[in-house]
Structure 1
């Protein structure tokens, strides 16, 4: 399988925020990230501060900081956790087309459930290892269907870029006006299908890029 090194999703997220100092006994990485993601869902990205999160967890902010490191590391760990969760929920599929379709729909449904999710992803300053493992996580599913790694990466990134861009319009400052004449759901369904058909055409024209 083409996957990120020897780390599972949970193990990799744990490594990204470091463990140079022991965490307070009442805290755990799972609890911190779950609460941070819930705060993101209910109050938006701007509300995700170390102080707010510490209050919700019933701890002092310095204790939380010692556990997570700087906020930039918390944000990247949240993004990694959400992305890994989405991939796990997509699971396996009987073809690359069905997997890519399910992948796009899972990303889109997450944007609907967590409106600031696109902002979270686009504002995350990933380290090179984090970016590499995220792309490998997604591309590995297509490689399992015989798609060559570089093409698999391009295919998954094209779907991610499409969803992030459409989500930015659907939840942006002009969303209310746009929704009066547009159905973002219909645009998503149509464009995802066109995108997948385009990749199918490219693969048919250049089968050598599939393994």
Structure 2
């Protein structure tokens, strides 16, 4: 692509053009200089919006995750949300391979820690999943989608792998197995919680030992 005529910049414009550049040149071609050429500005113009490439990648990663979550329609079941979220991420990574690498290496943004665990876990906790388990499950599904993108290369390696597996089917099998594990863990936690409640009410521990004064 040639250099474009300079245009007023805002963060949304820079992000949009950064993703377009990623599509055209891949991750290795994504640089502030290339992005500046694309927009017809000098690289320092970005500093009003992104202080470094690391910050740009952080915002791109956040946008990828936000888009995936937005793609999930309201669900009646937490496992359905996880499945749909995992598929949305994988679809993004398949259609835009560099996106997976961005998510794998992007550093947390300054102030991102203020995004509470509760808000991240909310799609699952609203279905009565414990926050800690919800965070573990979302992280695991995200990691599966990122890692799976490594199995979907182009060229000779893809042809070789296609002789060994069906990419779509294998991903679905892995996703189902992963979520089934969290579903089983949640069931075990619930059973343990009910036992503990009963034992506390009786004043005894798991082995009949009194735990109350």
Q: TM-score range by the shorter chain?
A: 0.7 to 0.9
Deviation by residue 1:117-146 (Cα, 9 ceiling, x = unmatched): 111111212247436738655422111111
Structure 1 unaligned runs (5+)?
1-23
Kindly tell me the number of residue pairs found equivalent between the two proteins. Answer: 187
Q: Structure 1 residues 64 and 192, CA, compared in 2 at 3 Å: closer, same or farther? A: same
Please show how residues 104-123 of structure 1 align to structure 2 within 5 Å: 104-123=86-105
Q: Structure 1 residues 34 and 92, CA, compared in 2 at 3 Å: closer, same or farther? A: same
Range 94-103 or range 160-169, more displaced: 160-169
Shift of 1:198: 1.6
- C-alpha distance in structure 2 between counterparts of 1:60 and 1:26, whole Å: 12
Aligned partner of 1:190 in structure 2 is: 173
Q: Structure 1 residues 70 and 128, CA, compared in 2 at 3 Å: closer, same or farther? A: closer
Q: Structure 1 residues 135 and 178, CA, compared in 2 at 3 Å: closer, same or farther? A: farther
Q: Secondary structure at the match of 1:206?
A: helix
Structure with max Cα Rg: 2
Q: Secondary structure at the match of 1:116?
A: helix
- C-alpha distance in structure 1 between counterparts of 2:117 and 2:97, whole Å: 23
- C-alpha distance in structure 2 between counterparts of 1:208 and 1:30, whole Å: 48
Aligned partner of 1:14 in structure 2 is: none
Q: Structure 1 residues 91 and 206, CA, compared in 2 at 3 Å: closer, same or farther? A: same
TM-score (norm 2): 0.79
Give the alignment partner of residue 140 of structure 2, picking from 150, 155, 158.
Answer: 158
Q: Structure 1 residues 96 and 175, CA, compared in 2 at 3 Å: closer, same or farther? A: same
Query: CA RMSD, aligned part only?
Result: 2.5
Flag the structure with more relative contact order, 1 or 2, with Cα contacts below 8 A and sequence separation at least 6: 1
- C-alpha distance in structure 2 between counterparts of 1:130 and 1:65, whole Å: 19
Q: Structure 1 residues 153 and 110, CA, compared in 2 at 3 Å: closer, same or farther? A: same
Structure 2 unaligned runs (5+)?
1-5, 194-213
Runs of 4+ in 1 over 6 A off after TM superposition: none
Q: Are the counterparts in 2 of residues 80 and 134 from structure 1 also a CA contact under 8 Å?
A: no
